[in-house]
Amino acid sequence: MNDFHKALPEVDPEDIISTELIEQPLSSNPNSAARRLALQILYEIDITKHAVGDVIDSQSPYADLNERSIQFMRELVLGVMRYCPALDAIISHFAPEFPLKDVAIVDRNVLRIAVYEIAIYQQTPLRVAIDEAVELAKLFGAEGSARFVNGVLGAVVSDEETLTTLLEKHKANDA
């Protein structure tokens, strides 16, 4: 028996294991709910490497979303997956002291969604994209996540020239 197994407590089948259900506040609007689902799907894909379509199909029935919101969620997930290398390069550029592989999975995917909305999708007002990302970070991230996400996105939107250059560079590499 290795040291890891020695550190585990003995568990008796008769032991009662308690669980705690943490209620999450309802989304304020359908797009917020779509972003939440997109984050949960991207989180699962990031951890498990499951196929994107399979995760969307397995998660969507549990969401109480209308057809328009389901389409928005699909746009976010598929857009983030399609442009992931470019999004990661943008995030890495604007947060160089935080290697992306070391950034929490929730924070990484919140940033990917927001940068996708800001830089590529471009149908969400900047302030809304940032506010929604900060709210997702507060809801699903660690204690400092909201500040981190807000700081990175603030840097992204304050340097449009660099953002455009990074996007063009990645589009040229994909061609």
Q: Residue 43: name the closest of 120, 127, 141, 138 by CA.
A: 141
Cβ neighbour number for residue 30 with a 10 Å cutoff: 16
Q: What is the pLDDT of residue 32?
A: 96
pLDDT tens for each residue of 16-38: 655 554 555 666 799 999 999 99
pLDDT tens for each residue of 36-80: 999 999 999 999 999 999 999 999 998 889 999 999 999 999 999
Mean pLDDT across 98-114 = 97
The residue extents of the domains of the chain are 28-174
With 60 as the cut, is the pLDDT of residue 138 above it? Answer: yes
How far apart (Å, rounded) are the C-alpha atoms in residues 84 and 12? 45
With 70 as the cut, is the pLDDT of residue 13 above it? Answer: no
CATH domain 28-174 topology: N-utilizing Substance Protein B Homolog; Chain A (1.10.940)
Q: What is the pLDDT of residue 175?
A: 61
